């Protein structure tokens, strides 16, 4: 079945808006993030929120890198990891990245120094969410081919992240976008079973946690977070992050939790992703990509999406055009 082009646009714009909404309170406590969701976002004042010199609507590295992945696909007429690697290196070299992650930045420097993309990834045990946060477009490119989807999610990820958990996280996000686009009623256990089956080839532990999430999805957020924030970590692990940290296992699980709680309500899903606190530009970006792929462009608040920008460039209209070009390439085999 060929998905509606509005689902492609919904995925990219949904990621960008989730990212922009979360970016305002990235790294903040659960209390600050919950208050931001309740008073600012739900209070109809999101457009007044800003972070530093950035006005509301600025999105960050998560969406910049997802956008470049889709641009590479359209420009090259297919997925070419070598071309995408060059674009990652260029974005960093030109200092255009907003809110950079260390593993990605280190890999970008290696790429710029001439290291091949197959060897540039930051080695384990670094396991941040940098390869998963940008994997949504892989679900658009390969929604009809699970083997190719898993391969491409891994390849785009290992350009910057070599830890197998990072590949498993990228597979889960790309797979979730592909499943969400099908438009069928969402059965969380069945949905997660598909993702776990695909992710198991990369990391069995992550796959087991994806299956466990089916039991956590029925819990309220304040209860679910105690399980999800510790998933994949040793029992004595401590870090300074409030809420959900940038660790790939917890942040991907939380993004899926937020979507599966509200699969047909984009803003409810994104607000759930943010209200927990922590690395919420990324959790909301991933949730936004998945929810946007399901509800389509029409299900994303147009008044908020109208503010999307990347430093004065690549706003909503350009993102929609890019997504439509990808849809034409995918479904008709032609570049516009």
Q: How far is the CB of 99 from Mg ion (least distance, A)?
A: 4
In 3D space, the residue among 136, 259, 127, 125 whose CA is nearest the CA of residue 192 turns out to be 259
CA distance 132 to 167: 7
> In the set 6, 62, 68, 209, which binds Mg ion (CB under 5 A)?
62
CA distance 17 to 309: 10
Angle subtended at Cα 171 by Cα 163 and Cα 222, rounded to the nearest 5 degrees: 90
Cβ nearer to Mg ion, comparing 65 with 141: 65
Contact between residue 59 and residue 23 where contact means Cβ atoms under 8 Å apart: yes
Site for Mg ion in 263-302 (CB under 5 A): 281
Phi, psi of 314 (to 5 degrees): 50, 55
* Residue 130 sits in the site that holds Mg ion (CB under 5 A): no
Q: How far is the CB of 218 from Mg ion (least distance, A)?
A: 30
* Residue 203 sits in the site that holds Mg ion (CB under 5 A): no
Q: How far is the CB of 81 from Mg ion (least distance, A)?
A: 22
Cβ nearer to Mg ion, comparing 15 with 60: 60
Task: List Cβ neighbours of 192 (8 Å cut-off, separation of 6 or more).
Answer: 210, 211, 213, 214, 256, 260
Cis peptide before 286 (omega within 30 of 0): no
Cβ nearer to Mg ion, comparing 6 with 61: 61
Q: How far is the CB of 98 from Mg ion (least distance, A)?
A: 7
Q: How far is the CB of 183 from Mg ion (least distance, A)?
A: 29
Q: What element of type H or E holds 288? A: helix 280-295
Cβ nearer to Mg ion, comparing 260 with 285: 285
Cβ nearer to Mg ion, comparing 63 with 229: 63
CA distance 158 to 166: 8
Taking CB atoms, the residue at the shortest distance from Mg ion is 60
> In the set 18, 41, 61, 320, which binds Mg ion (CB under 5 A)?
61
Q: Residue 166 corresponds to which tokens in the numbers above? A: 């990072």
* Residue 99 sits in the site that holds Mg ion (CB under 5 A): yes
Q: How far is the CB of 198 from Mg ion (least distance, A)?
A: 25
User: Which stretch, 62-70, 165-173, 222-230, 233-241, contacts Mg ion (CB under 5 A)?
Assistant: 62-70
Residue with tokens 């990245």: 97
* Residue 310 sits in the site that holds Mg ion (CB under 5 A): no
Contact between residue 231 and residue 162 where contact means Cβ atoms under 8 Å apart: no
- Kindly list the residues in this chain that would bind Mg ion in the complex (CB under 5 A): 60-62, 99, 281
């Amino acid at each position: 079945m060929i998905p509606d082009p509005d689902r492609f646009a919904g995925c990219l714009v949904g990621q960008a808006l989730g990212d922009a909404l979360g970016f305002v309170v990235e790294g903040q406590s659960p209390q600050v993030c919950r208050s931001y969701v309740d008073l600012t976002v739900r209070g109809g004042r999101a457009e007044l929120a800003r972070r530093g010199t950035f006005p509301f609507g600025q999105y960050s590295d998560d969406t910049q890198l997802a956008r470049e992945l889709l641009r590479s696909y359209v420009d090259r007429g297919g997925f070419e990891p070598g071309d995408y690697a060059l674009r990652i290196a260029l974005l960093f070299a030109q200092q255009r990245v907003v809110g950079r992650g260390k593993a990605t930045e280190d890999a970008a420097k290696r790429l710029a120094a001439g290291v091949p993309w197959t060897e540039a990834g930051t080695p384990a045990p670094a396991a941040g969410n940098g390869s998963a946060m940008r994997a949504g477009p892989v679900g658009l490119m390969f929604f009809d081919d699970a083997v190719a989807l898993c391969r491409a999610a891994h390849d785009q990820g290992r350009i910057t992240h070599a830890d197998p958990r990072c590949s498993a996280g990228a597979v889960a996000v790309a797979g979730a976008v592909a499943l969400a686009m099908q438009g069928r009623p969402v059965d969380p256990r069945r949905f997660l079973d598909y993702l776990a089956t695909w992710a198991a080839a990369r990391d069995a532990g992550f796959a087991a946690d994806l299956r466990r999430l089916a039991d956590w999805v029925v819990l309220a957020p304040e209860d679910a977070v105690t399980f999800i924030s510790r998933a994949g970590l040793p029992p004595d692990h401590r870090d300074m992050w409030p809420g959900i940290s940038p660790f790939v296992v917890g942040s991907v699980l939380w993004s899926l939790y937020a979507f599966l709680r509200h699969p047909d309500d984009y803003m409810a899903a994104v607000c759930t992703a943010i209200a927990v606190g922590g690395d919420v530009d990324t959790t909301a970006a991933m949730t936004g990509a998945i929810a946007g792929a399901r509800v389509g462009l029409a299900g994303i608040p147009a008044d908020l999406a109208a503010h999307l920008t990347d430093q004065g460039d690549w706003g909503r209209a350009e993102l929609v055009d890019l997504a439509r070009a990808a849809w034409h390439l995918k479904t008709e085999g032609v570049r516009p």
